[in-house]
Amino acid sequence: HPVLGGVILQFVAAFLGIGLLTFITLRNMEETKMIMANDDMDDETVPSLFYDNAGIFWSVWAGIAVGLAEMISFFVSGMGVQAMQSIP
């Protein structure tokens, strides 16, 4: 089913994103520990990721838009329309 292809694609993208986010977070935590050890700083909590609410808001809406566009294109292609006509 064409929509199943879109759903699988979204899950794969989400798992890759989670993996990348985990890698970045762990790397930043290690760098922070090394800096704190070299500077003899107290154990302060330093955020490993910086973000703002507007960025999260627009990222969510962009993900929804891209996901819908992919699923619609899979659905239209599954109806027999050629890809050169259904994908802008």
Q: Note the pLDDT tens digit of each residue in 10-40.
A: 899 899 999 998 998 888 777 766 666 666 5
pLDDT of residue 68 exceeding 90, the answer is no
Looking at residue 42, what is its pLDDT? 54
So what's the pLDDT on residue 15?
95
Per-residue tokens: 46: 């330093």
Please state, rounded to an integer, the average pLDDT across all residues of the chain: 79
Contact by Cβ (8 Å): 71, 3: yes
pLDDT tens, residue by residue, 49-59 = 778 899 999 99
Say whether pTM exceeds 0.85: no
CB atoms within 10 A of CB 6: 19
